[in-house]
Amino acid sequence: MEDDLRVMNHPILGDLPEKKMVTIYYQGQPILAREGEPIAAALLAAGIKAFRKTVHRHEPRGVFCAIGRCTDCMMIVNGKPNVRTCVTFVEDGMQLEPQDGYGRRKVDGGDAK
Ligand code: FES
């Protein structure tokens, strides 16, 4: 996936500085991410906006507050559910899965490992 949704040239902040790129995997699909950026930023840059589904109505949710307060951006990260992706930074090889409802671990009868 391309990172064409990033602001590469900001009129006030200037050019986006060069960064090492890492690869993260969303549902097994590789996505290039800038080292040190939040998971949510990498997914939004790749055009992915829905990160989880609500518990009762299964409605899609994504970034809302972007400061770690609302939990709308929670995903299953490396098998761990309920990770707030707006305040968790990418790591090379990270595996991401959308979360449907409560993030229960597989050992508790859920989808996550
Ligand atoms: S968007 Fe609110 S906690 Fe991540």
pLDDT band at residue 1 using 50, 70 and 90 as cut-offs: very low
Q: What is the mean pLDDT of the chain?
A: 91
**Cβ-Cβ contacts under 8 Å for 104 (sequence gap 6 or more):** 81, 110, 111, 112
The residue extents of the domains of the chain are 21-98
Which residue, 66, 31, 53, 69, is CA-closest to 102? 53
Bridge partners of residue 58, in order along the sequence? none
Pocket of ligand 1 (CB under 6 A): 63-66, 68-73, 84, 86
Nearest CA to ligand 1 atom 3: 68
At 63, give phi and psi (nearest 5°).
-70, 130
Q: In whole angstroms, what is the distance from residue 20 CA to residue 91 CA?
A: 11
pTM of the full predicted structure? 0.87
Give me the pLDDT at residue 104, please: 72
CA–CA distances in Å: residue 19 to residues 37, 85, 94 = 10, 20, 18
Give me the pLDDT at residue 107, please: 65
- Domain 21-98 in CATH 3.90.1150.10? The answer is no
- Give me the amino acid identity at 92: D
Measured in Å, residue 48 CA sits from the centre of ligand 1 at: 15
For a pLDDT cut of 70, what percent of the chain falls above it? 88
- pLDDT tens digits, 17-58: 999 999 999 999 999 999 999 999 999 999 999 999 999 999
